[in-house]
Amino acid sequence: MHEKCGVVGISLEDRDAARPLYYSLYALQHRGQESAGIVTHDGFQQHSHVEMGLVGDAFGPGDLESLNGSNGIGHVRYPTAGSVNTCCAQPFSVSFKSGSLGLSHNGNLVNADEIGDELADLGHAFTSDGDTEVIAHDLARNLLEEDLVRAVKRTMERIHGSYSLTIMHDETVLGVRDPQGNRPLCIGELDDGYVLTSESAAIDTLDGELIRDVEPGELVVLHPDGTGYDTYQLVEQANTAHCFFEHVYFARPDSTIDGSLVYEVRRELGRKLWKESGVESDVVLPVPDSGRAFASGYAEAAQDAGSDIEFAEGLMKNRYVGRTFIMPTQDERERAVRLKLNPIKSTIEGKKVTIIDDSIVRGTTSTQLIQLLKDAGAEEVNVRIGAPAIVAPCYMGIDMASREELIAGDQSVEEICDEIEADSLSYLSIDAIAETLQTSKADLCLGCVTGEYPYDIEGEETDREVTRPEIGEEPTVADD
């Protein structure tokens, strides 16, 4: 169970931004189902609507009507629990003496408590323990003394961690990506304006065109009249720390992130998976829906290599999985996994089977699934995973599991294979990931697969010399 928030910001020429924001959030719904919100500004005042629930439930037609203004930002929130508390109900909005601020955040700060304490000492009252409120207060404070660009720069110098932000200061929409580019953020062009968003699929939904990713450490300021945007490279860092898991799991297959189309990346990872650890069997089954693209690449590579292996949809997913539901207890006869996935016997019975998925977190589901396939008559069950083993928790905004809960936390691949009772098990190599993404490993955040993080996290090792960001020189202004 690992996902994350989605952010968006839109400036249009002369129509209201509320509906395009709404459709964008719908396109980003997979990044967060707990709450949805939109904040707009009509040039005179700010309007806000934030509610718990899915986008479709959070907004009624009247809510969109009352969100006046051609500039706005939006947010969908993923429900986190425990220590890796990524985001809070958003956009966070605050009216302060020099105007109003709205903030949508995807990511996780490492030093939020520290900054929060400083601000509390200065008299700031916080309504939550969320990172976002800390960023908003810090920025608002800076705005009392500085112009917009300098104020953002000062805040970026203080906060440390992963963040992609869309911000609204009065009617101006901004986008900021952390200096290491951990979380995605891109900019797109519409017929009558510009959009900043976590994933390019949201731009497609608006019939717009992806322009490019926002650069790590870059600030993008949309013109409130929808006619263009300015960019400022505020902070430079030697290396990036892109999250490779966006490509493997989080993002929609139809999004392009840091230059790569996610669907093609997954197919290629599947192909590499065959090359690295392909195993002959009668049939390849994706674990739906996450394993589908990997499995089709794997099967294709196998067939290209002359294998007779068949690609089939042998596991039927209950499409209502993921909603509120009372799971069976251990001693109930119903098996939890069977509520999610039902094997199609004719595809499996008497056959050697290979199942393909993107990851194994706790291992419980895998164990149950393999048992299920054997009960359905599979002679052999091989497991191939389209990513390296997850050996450590994520601190950057993804709620995976604690180290103790991770099946690969302290076990070898052989031990895991034994535990889940598979006939064989292989993970993809880290090199295959870097190669497919055409990136150096030094430019990826590999914390969850190496245990070494690109940020300074108490009690954890880091894989780089972490410096507070360097401050950029001259703002550059883009043409539109």
Assess whether 88 carries a catalytic annotation: no
Q: Note if the bond before 224 is cis, omega within 30 degrees.
A: no
Closest CB to a second copy among 277 and 367?
A: 367
Contact 404, 443 (CB under 8 A): no
Minimum distance between the CB of residue 441 and a second copy, rounded to whole angstroms? 26
Closest CB to a second copy among 239 and 364?
A: 364
Q: Does the annotation flag 417 for ligand binding?
A: no
Q: Does the annotation flag 448 for ligand binding?
A: yes
Beta strand 99-109 with 92-96 is: antiparallel
Minimum distance between the CB of residue 266 and a second copy, rounded to whole angstroms? 10
DSSP string computed for 353-410: EEEEES--SSSHHHHHHHHHHHHTT-SEEEEEESS----S---SS-----TTT-TTSS
Query: In a 3-state reduction of DSSP, which class is residue 7?
Result: strand
Q: Does the annotation flag 243 for ligand binding?
A: yes
Contact 141, 119 (CB under 8 A): yes
Helices assigned H by DSSP within 249-359: 262-277, 292-304, 336-340, 345-348
Closest CB to a second copy among 14 and 479?
A: 14
Minimum distance between the CB of residue 89 and a second copy, rounded to whole angstroms? 12
Minimum distance between the CB of residue 176 and a second copy, rounded to whole angstroms? 21
Minimum distance between the CB of residue 263 and a second copy, rounded to whole angstroms? 5
For 338, half-sphere exposure in the C-beta direction (CA atoms, 13 angstrom radius) is 11
Q: Does the annotation flag 207 for ligand binding?
A: no
Q: Does the annotation flag 358 for ligand binding?
A: yes
Beta strand 341-343 with 315-317 is: antiparallel
Question: CA dist 74 to 103, 257, 296, Å?
Answer: 9, 20, 35
Closest CB to a second copy among 29 and 424?
A: 29
Closest CB to a second copy among 173 and 392?
A: 173
Q: Which burial class, exposed, middle or buried, applies to 319 when counting CB atoms under 10 A from its CB (0-12, 13-18, 19+)? A: exposed
List residues forming the annotated binding site for [4Fe-4S] cluster: 243, 394, 445, 448
Active site residues: 5
List residues forming the annotated binding site for Mg(2+): 290, 357-358
